[in-house]
Amino acid sequence: MSLRVYNTLSKKKEEFVVRDEGKVSMYVCGVTPYNYPHLGNARPFVVFDVVRRYLEYLGYETYHVQNFTDVDDKIIKRSQEEGKTAKEIADSYIKAYFEDMDRLGVKRAHFYPRVTDHIPEIIEMVKTLVEKGYAYELEGDVYYSVGKFPDYGKLSGRDLDELKAGARVEVDVRKRNPLDFALWKRAKEGEPAWDSPWGPGRPGWHIECSAMSLKYLKPGFDIHGGGSDLIFPHHENEIAQSEAYADGKQFVRYWLHNGFITIDQEKMSKSLGNFFTVREILAKYPPDAVRFFLISTHYRSPLDFSEERLEEAKRSLERFYTALDQLDKLPEVSDHAGQDHPLRLECRRVEERFKEAMNDDFNTALALGHLFEFVREINRNLQDLRQKNMEEEEGTIGALRAAKETLLRLGNVLGIFELRNKEMNKGDELEAKLIDLLIELRQEFRKKKDWATADRIRDGLKELGIVLEDSPEGTIWRRK
């Protein structure tokens, strides 16, 4: 069974066929760095990180490009307010973007082009569009003439006439069609500007992505992704510009869009003010829980945010972690031990199911379900281990070690387990030694059957977020 992805362009799941065999070129619309990213902003980056990881798991070589829109109205406004240059604003929030996404385990794209580094390419593209008759100049501004592009509306499923009728946009009477959009904007006083054939100005909103994606990925690249609010007008306009520029050559093969994060069923957005920044959330919840939360629902569905959900995500992950910790303690045995153990079969089955789920338009929720079932199977075997004789034990241990490898490998396609250790290792050594000392003392009390004192230690530690678990092999502790 092969990978199928939902293409916004066709509104259907399609078989995923790449342009260049064995390689996937992907472009994800990045941020305008004028603010700290909120959770809604982060969703596409986590989503497309999983997409990329899965493609790599399948054996594709990926080339992932993501832009920074480092000049635009909001950055300019912000820079004027703070008395800084646009570049200073952009630089500082780009830095913040990386800090936050790194913590969420988002792999770095291979390349992050910035608009301000691509002004010549953009000017060239606008110039060509004017020459080809798709764009016109108006007092230093250049507009794209949507009426010239017959396919306009094909991505968002809109009809030009309907759009005109329903347009709530303030109409600029100079434009030929109210929907014509700016490719180049004349500079106002005090704004960053570059020289162009139409006078000093800066790129319009949509042209950057076309210019940069075409430059680095060439027409007909495989995946273009972003939030579904970009479908119209941003991506619609990108298609219009890019396909007009490339003489009708297909711009993108697969358009992928993720659903929104909502709060109380309402879209999380800066303008509504109902947002939480990634760093606010990470101050209260571990990154793996946030990431788990983000992938526990299919990427195209809306996802309602709440602290309860994050708590739930945290508890769900515990299931994986307790199993993983048990598996870590297993002694080494020959790799071939337990070759015909039933658990080995489960390993193959879970991987098949995992692939089947992910092949169906990256169904991470289903994939996680399979992983949970697999964990139960692992725990069953772990429990059995105690009642086994030596010979059987070796086989079970061998199979369990293989299961651990499978679980870790599949989990990391989703990027969840690798985040855990980072956070867990944060505790300092002194703390660990003190806890060990308390456990030792408690052991003494337990021997003397002084349950009251023993329980006081356990309860006290629990208050501090340290959970003790007694087992025949001794007492272990973990953070709650």
Partner RNA sequence: GGCGACAUAGCCAAGCGGUAAGGCACGGGACUGCAAAUCCCUGAUUCCCCGGUUCAAAUCCGGGUGUCGCCUCCA
Name residues contacting RNA, limited to 338-397 (CB under 7 A): 357, 360, 363, 365-366, 368-369, 372-373, 375-376, 379-380, 382-383
Give least dist CB 79 to RNA, A: 16
> How many Cα atoms sit within 13 Å of 420 on the Cβ side?
21
Residue numbers 126-165 binding RNA by CB under 7 A: 156-159, 162-163, 165
Residue number, 132 or 164, with CB nearest to RNA: 164
- Short-list 88, 67, 40, 110, CA closest to 203: 67
For RNA, the closer CB: 127 or 388: 388
Task: Specify the stretch interacting with RNA by CB under 7 A; choose among 37-45, 56-64, 112-120, 418-426.
Answer: 37-45
Q: Which of 267, 279, 349, 388 binds RNA (CB under 7 A)?
A: 267
Q: What are phi and psi of 70, to 5 degrees?
A: -95, 15
Q: Give the shortest CB-335-to-RNA separation in angstroms.
A: 25
Q: Which is nearer to RNA, 128 or 316 (CB)?
A: 316
Does position 415 bind RNA by CB under 7 A? no
What are the beta bridge partners of residue 470?
475
Shortest distance, CB of residue 131 to RNA, whole angstroms? Answer: 25
Which residue of 105, 113, 203, 227 would you call a contact of RNA, by CB under 7 A?
Answer: 227
* Torsion of the alpha carbons at 18, 24, 29 and 33, rounded to the nearest 10: -170
Within 320-339, the residues that bind RNA by CB under 7 A are 322-323
Residue 267 beta carbon to RNA: minimum distance, rounded to whole angstroms: 4
Q: Among 298, 272, 411, which Cα is nearest to 360's?
A: 298
Q: Other CB atoms closer than 10 Å to residue 437's CB: what's the count?
A: 10
Q: 13-22: long-range contacts at Cβ-Cβ below 8 A with a sequence spacing of 24 or more?
A: 13/360, 13/361, 14/254, 16/254, 17/253, 18/60, 18/222, 18/253, 19/220, 19/221, 19/222, 19/253, 22/59, 22/60, 22/61
Q: Say how many residues touch RNA, by CB under 7 A.
A: 84
Find the binder of RNA among 2, 340, 471, 474 (CB under 7 A).
471
**141-144 and 474-479: which strand pairing?**
unpaired
Give dist(CA 40, CA 19) in Å, integer.
31
Rounded to whole angstroms, how far apart are CA atoms 201 and 198? 8
d(CA 468, CA 280) in angstroms, rounded, equals: 30
Residues numbered 87-116 forming contacts with RNA, rule: CB under 7 A: none
Q: Are the C-beta atoms of 351 and 377 separated by less than 8 Å? A: no
Binding-site string for RNA from residue 58 to residue 77, where x marks contact by CB under 7 A and - marks none: ----------------x---
Q: How far is the CB of 173 from RNA (least distance, A)?
A: 15
Q: How far is the CB of 300 from RNA (least distance, A)?
A: 8
Identified binder of RNA from the candidate list 95, 120, 169, 352, rule CB under 7 A: 169
Question: Hey, what are 121's tokens?
Answer: 């390419």
**224 is an interface residue for RNA by CB under 7 A:** no
Give the Cα separation of 15 and 427 in Å (integer). Answer: 47
Whichever of 123 and 295 has its CB closer to RNA, that residue is 295
Among 137, 302, 351, 423, binds RNA (CB under 7 A): 302
> Which residue, 271 or 389, is less far from RNA as judged by CB?
271
Q: Which of 100, 458, 461, 466 binds RNA (CB under 7 A)?
A: 458
The pair phi, psi for residue 184, each rounded to 5°, is -140, 135
Nearer to RNA, 128 or 363 (CB): 363
Residue list 270-299, contact with RNA (CB under 7 A): 270-271, 296-298
Residue 226 lies near RNA (rule: CB under 7 A) = yes
Structure tokens at 154: 């094909």
Q: Which is nearer to RNA, 41 or 145 (CB)?
A: 41
Classify residue 181 by its DSSP letter.
E
Residue 231 sits in the site that holds RNA (CB under 7 A): yes
Cα 56 vs. chain centroid, distance in angstroms? 15
Distance CA 451, CA 443 (A): 10
Residues sharing a CB contact under 8 Å with residue 399, sequence separation 6 or more, in sequence order: 337, 338, 341, 342, 343, 344, 347, 381
Give 59 or 166: the residue with its C-beta nearer to RNA: 166
Nearer to RNA, 247 or 463 (CB): 463
Binding flag, residue 469, RNA (CB under 7 A): yes
Nearer to RNA, 263 or 333 (CB): 263
Q: Which of 60, 63, 149, 260 forms a contact with RNA (CB under 7 A)?
A: 260
| Residue 120, SS3 per DSSP | helix
Task: Choose between 59 and 472: whose C-beta lies nearer to RNA.
Answer: 472
Residues 184-213 that bind RNA (CB under 7 A): 205
Q: Which is nearer to RNA, 249 or 348 (CB)?
A: 348
Pair of tokens at residue 10 = 């066709």
